């Protein structure tokens, strides 16, 4: 069965939910490891006061017994502690009593760059909150929980996935990235950046060129572009390859089928080639601004300025964790497609068999 993921949840609703299907039985999960990833996602330097309210941890409602997967749908929940301040405003059922707390007044000032305007037009909402709540990057918490499960599966296969920020506000050293964040906070700006995800220990042969939709580079790009605020994805040397000659763009093959370089980022024709997988995602500056941009009040049609709310200065470190989870999930999906298996033992046996088959030719040092 293919690995699947469905999520639900609003930013200030009661909880975020993920259902992961297609996991083999017998995979050991560790609550501490999932919670550690959830904490990493919350910790970046440019985060908003919201993160002081939340302390994300995973609950499992189904699919796990005594720490081992059952081969049945795995139901993960991350509660929104901030919901306590929004019980009237974000009540799933018609709320009791007079409007109180946050979210009680409709939002009518769409922020350029957020889902606000497109969402209300598409779905016919009067209150922008009905669009922004689901579009919010808060939702990435539960993707990180699902990615953490995928990483546990990949670890069994010897694959390690890691994400890190490589650029924030145009700066590339840790010190300069922090200074840029401090300055943006002081000047009430927001920043974007670039994250890089690498996966090591990836065997050749994940993904396929059989159909466009099978190509793993395309699947990774689609999954990463689906993360809030991501506007670009590149694999390996990506856009820089377009400016090189063929002799400087590809990765020559040595005996043992190793490569001298990894400009392709571990993917050729949408298939892993045994080299580390390298992908980068570019994030735009966050659109909730303390210096609001011009907008229009949807209630009156008059020119005004966009909604001002608490916001992160930048969430690039958070994106690194989310992108890591995203890549891990897609890689786990591709590995299960290649190797299959209802139980972890079946999966590992299939891996051994496959590696044995290609070992006559593929012998990395
Ligand atoms: C977000 C707006 C902010 C961020 C949020 C994403 O939330 P709030 O509206 O509650 O201040 O803090 O990110 C998270 C809460 C999170 O956990 O990552 C948005 O509009 O996308």
Exposure string (b/e) for 94-115, b if CB count within 10 Å is 16 or more?
A: ebeeeeeebbeeebbbbbebbb
Q: What pLDDT, on a 0 to 100 scale, did the predictor assign at position 35? A: 98
Q: What pLDDT, on a 0 to 100 scale, did the predictor assign at position 364? A: 82
Rounded (10°) CA dihedral 364, 221, 223, 70:
-20
User: Distance from the CA of 42 to the center of ligand 1, in angstroms?
Assistant: 10
User: Distance from the CA of 50 to the center of ligand 1, in angstroms?
Assistant: 7
| Spatial contact of 23 and 149, defined as CB atoms under 8 Å apart | yes
Residues 137-169 pLDDT 10s:
999 999 999 999 999 999 999 999 999 999 999
What tokens does 184 get? 């943006």
Q: Which atom of ligand 1 is nearest to the CA of 47?
A: 12
> Which residues in the chain land under pLDDT 70?
none
Any idea what the Cα angle at residue 19 is, between residues 18 and 24, rounded to 5°?
A: 130
- The answer to whether the predicted template modeling score (pTM) of the entire model surpasses 0.95 is yes
Q: Whose CA is nearest to atom 15 of ligand 1?
A: 138
Q: Mutation test of ligand 1: which of 137, 192, 309 has the most ligand atoms closer than 8 Å to its C-beta? A: 137
Q: What pLDDT, on a 0 to 100 scale, did the predictor assign at position 123? A: 98
- What is the rounded distance in angstroms from the CA atom of residue 251 to the CA atom of residue 74? 40
Q: What pLDDT, on a 0 to 100 scale, did the predictor assign at position 52? A: 86
Q: What pLDDT, on a 0 to 100 scale, did the predictor assign at position 344? A: 98
Q: Which residue, 258, 269, 162, 261, is CA-closest to 205?
A: 269
Q: Long-range CB contacts (< 8 A, 24+ apart) of 101-110?
A: 102/12, 103/12, 103/129, 106/299, 107/132, 107/307, 108/297, 108/298, 108/299, 108/300, 109/295, 109/297, 109/298, 109/304, 109/305, 109/306, 109/307, 110/295, 110/296, 110/298, 110/306, 110/307
| Spatial contact of 155 and 163, defined as CB atoms under 8 Å apart | no
**How many helical (H) and strand (E) elements, i.e. helices and strands, does the chain have?**
9, 15
Cβ < 6 Å from ligand 1: which residues?
11, 48, 50, 54, 136-138, 140-141, 228, 288, 309-312
Q: Which domains does the chain have, with CATH numbers?
A: 4-358 (3.60.150.10)
């Amino acid at each position: 069965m293919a690995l699947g993921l469905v999520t639900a949840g609003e930013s200030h609703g009661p909880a975020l939910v993920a259902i992961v299907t297609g996991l083999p039985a017998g995979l050991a999960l560790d609550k501490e490891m999932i919670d550690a990833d959830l904490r990493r996602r919350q910790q970046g330097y440019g985060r908003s006061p919201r993160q002081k309210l939340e302390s994300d941890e995973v609950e499992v409602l189904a699919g796990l017994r005594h720490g081992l997967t059952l081969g049945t749908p795995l139901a993960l929940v991350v509660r929104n502690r901030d919901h306590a301040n929004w019980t009237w405003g974000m009540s799933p059922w018609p709320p009791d009593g007079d409007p109180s707390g946050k979210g009680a007044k409709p939002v009518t000032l769409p922020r350029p760059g957020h889902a606000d305007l497109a969402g209300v037009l598409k779905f016919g909402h009067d209150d922008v909150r009905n669009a922004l709540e689901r579009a919010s990057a808060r939702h990435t918490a539960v993707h990180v929980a699902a990615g953490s499960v995928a990483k546990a599966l990949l670890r069994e296969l010897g694959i390690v996935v890691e994400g890190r920020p490589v650029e924030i506000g145009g700066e590339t050293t840790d010190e300069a990235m922090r200074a840029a964040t401090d300055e943006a906070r002081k000047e009430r700006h927001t920043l974007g950046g670039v994250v890089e995800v690498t996966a090591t220990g990836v065997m050749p042969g994940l993904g396929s060129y059989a159909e466009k939709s099978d190509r793993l580079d395309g699947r990774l790009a689609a999954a990463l572009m689906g993360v809030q605020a991501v506007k670009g994805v590149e694999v390996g040397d990506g856009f820089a390859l377009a400016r090189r000659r063929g002799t400087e763009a590809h990765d020559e093959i040595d005996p043992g089928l190793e490569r001298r370089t990894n400009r392709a980022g571990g993917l050729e024709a949408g298939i892993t080639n045994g080299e580390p997988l390298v992908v980068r995602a570019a994030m735009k500056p966050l659109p909730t601004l303390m210096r609001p941009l011009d907008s229009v009040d949807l209630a009156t049609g008059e020119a005004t300025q966009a909604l001002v709310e608490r916001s992160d200065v930048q969430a690039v470190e958070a994106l690194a964790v989310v992108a890591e989870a995203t890549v891990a999930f897609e890689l786990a999906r591709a590995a299960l497609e290649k190797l299959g298996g209802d139980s972890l033992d079946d999966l590992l046996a299939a891996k051994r068999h496959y590696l044995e088959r290609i070992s006559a030719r593929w012998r990395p040092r």
